[in-house]
């Protein structure tokens, strides 16, 4: 154990820390020194989104002290930026210690003279974003680790628009947090009168907002018996999803009972992530047994949604995030047009690694489609820039996130569940399913298929290996991939696009981000995106082809899957 780590441990044993914490450290010294070293060898990083880590004692863990110090730094920055009364909203999910961390956060803000709106109990992340805007807050925090395993918790920080922070505020808050050198720098208590508890009244305002997103409320009334199966996967979705579905008029809702009780141990799943088939398996079984029309699942903080539907053979399948986004974007564009409520300046926003099928749909309907960096904070930033000039209707990304309407500024699975059921009801009224609609869209716009490979490079050299990989692609991009010429290289770090055939270059008008994209002559797009916080790199693959007829859907999908497989192998990414 190095000297710096030992000094950190000594500081905790001698400083103003609870005796129970000191006892835990002493136990680890005797029983698990390797675990103790991991808990102290570095500080848990306050990144551009906040904190996330394993819970426990130590500077590299989520605990009372790391949360308190982060909140003190954030409070200091808020007071620098805003004159007069400063207020924040605070929410938390179902995870172990989430309420405890939320109360610590509230107490520190309040002790700094900041007015706090603290939710009475667990609430979905999107309601936190809504509450910031409704209460005119200058910031906010939700204690959640999203869909990470049960050992984790986190702390997501928001700005006055209800979105997670973008430059310069994200980096400035990090600077202020890093200035908090000791727990003695934290104001832990003394401002309790600054805390206001919020609950049902805010829930009702939020649910009214969700209801206002309905394009065809009459369809929901006609199809009120739509057979819906829903699982919150032990998370916060149970608080508001059933109420939202009831508000839309759906009366035949079946909750997956085994996963209905909020529980930070997530006893029925390995990972509480609706993107994983395993997490949705109990819901799939129930949907099949009931012969349901649609299955929906949300993650612990209810900002991601997964959808299950029956395919043309009658087998249940889970849609991927791109397919869900395609259906939702198309519905908001198509249904608004059919209803006569579309506006000439309607716009949609997606991320650069989300399917280009959305771009094709938007273009065919005369709707502006903007591409931004990965993360809903960038979608929110674009909304802010276009406010008063263009009318935002929907945004989303491939990782199972949708943001419908502009009353919130983060992904929202509550409204996504409700609107997905409306979409299913709309198709059922025509004697069809959402799967049928997806096939129709592929016939109309082309069959787009996406896949993702995530590579972790462990050990001390992991980050260096990933950096070398990116530098190699940047300096020596492949000339051909799977027999197709690489026509363009888009470098978001250098903010330059280059036609590799003609040599023509152009500026990419987005913030710097270490992302590379190869665009092939056949329309294939390959994106490489390293993580900013861990030694991991993600490769996104998007291929497409025409779909000659509905019956060729499975065969075309197989060909596209094989094409992605060949590309992965050729690039040496199959592990």
**117 near 89, Cβ under 8 Å?**
yes
Strands 484-491, 496-499: pairing is: antiparallel
| Co-location of 437 and 456 in the same domain | no
| Co-location of 191 and 260 in the same domain | no
- Cα(315)–Cα(324) distance, integer angstroms: 18
* DSSP for 350-415, written as a single string: EETTS-THHHHHHHHTT-EEEEE-SSHHHHHHHHHHHTTTSEEEEEEETTTEEEESSS-SS--HHH
| Chosen domain end from 169, 198, 227 | 198
Residue 34 lies in a domain: no
The CA-atom distances, in angstroms, between 317 and each of 225, 274, 277, 434 are 22, 13, 9, 11
For 59, the 3-state DSSP assignment is coil
| Chosen domain end from 428, 445, 462 | 445
Residue 575 lies in a domain: no
| Co-location of 399 and 341 in the same domain | yes
Question: CB atoms < 10 A from the CB of 366, how many?
Answer: 11
From 87, 98, 146, 214, active-site residue: 146
CATH number where 129 lies: 3.40.120.10
| Co-location of 238 and 181 in the same domain | no
| Co-location of 284 and 191 in the same domain | no
Structure tokens at 459: 């050990």
- Cα(142)–Cα(123) distance, integer angstroms: 9
Strands of the sheet containing 391-397, edge to edge, are 368-372, 346-351, 391-397, 401-404
The CA-atom distances, in angstroms, between 476 and each of 146, 164, 253, 486, 489 are 37, 35, 54, 12, 11
| Co-location of 494 and 405 in the same domain | no
Closest CA to 347 of 391, 407, 401: 391
* pLDDT tens track, the chain, 575 positions: 899 999 999 999 999 999 999 999 999 999 999 999 999 999 998 888 899 999 999 999 999 999 999 999 999 999 999 999 999 999 999 999 999 999 999 999 999 999 999 999 999 999 999 999 999 999 999 999 998 999 999 999 999 999 999 999 999 999 999 999 999 999 999 999 999 999 999 999 999 999 999 999 999 999 999 999 999 999 999 999 999 999 999 999 999 999 999 999 999 999 999 999 999 999 999 999 999 999 999 999 999 999 999 999 999 999 999 999 999 999 999 999 999 999 999 999 999 999 999 999 999 999 999 999 999 999 999 999 999 999 999 999 999 999 999 999 999 999 999 999 999 999 999 999 999 999 999 999 999 999 999 999 876 688 889 999 999 999 999 999 999 999 999 999 999 999 999 999 999 999 999 999 999 999 999 999 998 667 789 999 999 999 999 999 999 999 999 999 999 999 999 86
**116 near 132, Cβ under 8 Å?**
no
| Chosen domain end from 423, 445, 467 | 445
| Co-location of 394 and 484 in the same domain | no
pTM for the full predicted model: 0.96
> For residues 552, 553, 555 and 557, what is the CA-based torsion angle, rounded to 10 degrees?
150
For 90, the 3-state DSSP assignment is strand
**346 near 325, Cβ under 8 Å?**
no
Number of domains in the chain: 3
Beta bridge partners, 484, equal 481
Whether 212 sits among the annotated catalytic residues: the reply is: no
**70 near 119, Cβ under 8 Å?**
no
| Co-location of 499 and 411 in the same domain | no
Residue 18 lies in a domain: no
For 336, the 3-state DSSP assignment is helix
SS3 of the chain: helix, strand, coil, percent, to 5: 40, 20, 35
| Co-location of 184 and 81 in the same domain | yes
- Cα(279)–Cα(275) distance, integer angstroms: 8
| Co-location of 118 and 143 in the same domain | yes
Determine the Cα angle at 96 with ends 166 and 16, to 5°. 80
Domain residues for 492? 448-570
**129 near 163, Cβ under 8 Å?**
yes
Residue 16: CA count within 13 A, CB half-sphere: 8
Residue 52 lies in a domain: yes
CATH number where 544 lies: 3.30.310
Residues 165-174: pLDDT tens digits?
999 999 999 9
Residue 2 lies in a domain: no
Residue 29 lies in a domain: no
* Alpha helices per DSSP H over 269-368: 277-290, 321-339, 357-364
| Co-location of 78 and 122 in the same domain | yes
Residue 273 lies in a domain: yes
Strands 496-499, 505-507: pairing is: antiparallel
Residue 258 lies in a domain: yes
| Co-location of 217 and 176 in the same domain | no
Structure tokens at 164: 């997670």
């Amino acid at each position: 154990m190095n000297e710096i780590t030992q000094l950190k441990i000594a500081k905790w044993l001698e400083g103003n820390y609870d005796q129970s914490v000191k006892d835990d450290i002493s136990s680890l010294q005797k029983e698990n020194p390797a675990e103790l070293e991991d808990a102290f060898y570095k500080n848990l990083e306050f990144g551009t989104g906040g904190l996330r880590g394993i819970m426990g004692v130590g500077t590299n863990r989520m605990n009372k002290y790391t949360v308190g110090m982060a909140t003190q730094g954030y409070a200091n920055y808020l007071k620098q930026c805003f004159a007069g009364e400063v207020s924040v909203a605070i929410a938390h999910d179902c995870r172990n210690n989430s309420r405890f961390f939320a109360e610590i956060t509230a107490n520190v803000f309040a002790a700094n003279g900041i007015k706090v709106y603290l939710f009475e109990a667990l609430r979905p992340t999107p309601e936190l974003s809504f509450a910031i805007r409704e209460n005119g807050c200058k910031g906010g925090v939700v204690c959640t680790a999203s869909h990470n395993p049960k050992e984790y918790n986190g702390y997501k920080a928001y700005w006055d628009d209800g979105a997670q922070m973008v430059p310069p505020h994200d980096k400035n808050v990090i600077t202020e947090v890093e200035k908090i050198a000791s727990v003695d720098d934290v104001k832990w208590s003394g401002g309790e009168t600054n805390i206001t508890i919020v609950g049902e009244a805010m829930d009702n305002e939020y649910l009214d907002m969700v209801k206002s997103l309905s394009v065809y409320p009459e369809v929901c009334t006609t199809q009120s018996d739509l057979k819906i199966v829903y699982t919150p996967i032990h998370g916060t979705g149970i608080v508001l999803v059933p109420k939202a579905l009831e508000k839309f008029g759906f009366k035949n809702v079946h909750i997956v009972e085994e996963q209905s009780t909020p529980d930070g141990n997530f006893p029925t799943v390995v990972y509480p992530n609706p993107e994983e088939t395993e997490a949705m398996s109990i819901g799939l079984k129930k949907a099949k047994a009931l012969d349901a029309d649609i299955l929906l699942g949300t993650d612990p903080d209810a900002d991601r949604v997964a959808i299950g539907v029956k395919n043309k053979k009658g087998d249940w399948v889970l849609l991927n995030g791109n397919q869900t986004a395609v259906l939702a974007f198309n519905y908001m564009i198509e249904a608004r047009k059919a209803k006569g409520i579309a506006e000439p300046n309607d716009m949609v926003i997606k991320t650069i690694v989300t399917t280009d099928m959305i771009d094709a749909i938007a273009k065919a309907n005369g709707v502006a489609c903007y591409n931004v960096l990965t993360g809903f904070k960038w979608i929110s930033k674009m909304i802010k820039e276009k406010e008063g000039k263009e009318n935002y209707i929907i945004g989303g990304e491939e990782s199972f996130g949708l943001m419908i309407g502009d009353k919130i500024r983060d992904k929202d699975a509550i409204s996504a569940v409700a609107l997905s059921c409306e979409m299913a009801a709309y198709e059922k009224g025509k004697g069809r399913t959402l799967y049928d609609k997806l096939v129709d869209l592929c016939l109309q716009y082309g069959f787009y298929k996406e896949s993702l490979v995530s590579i972790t490079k462990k050990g001390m050299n992991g980050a260096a290996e990933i950096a070398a990989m990116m530098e190699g692609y940047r300096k020596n991009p492949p000339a051909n991939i799977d027999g197709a010429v690489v026509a363009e290289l888009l470098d978001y770090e250098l903010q330059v696009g280059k036609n590799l055939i003609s040599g023509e270059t152009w500026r990419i008008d987005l913030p710097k981000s270490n992302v590379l994209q190869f665009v092939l002559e056949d329309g294939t797009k390959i994106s490489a995106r390293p993580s900013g916080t861990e030694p991991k790199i993600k490769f996104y693959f998007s291929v497409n082809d025409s779909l000659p007829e509905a019956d060729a859907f499975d065969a075309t999908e197989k060909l596209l899957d094989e094409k992605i497989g060949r590309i992965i192998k050729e690039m040496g990414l199959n592990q």
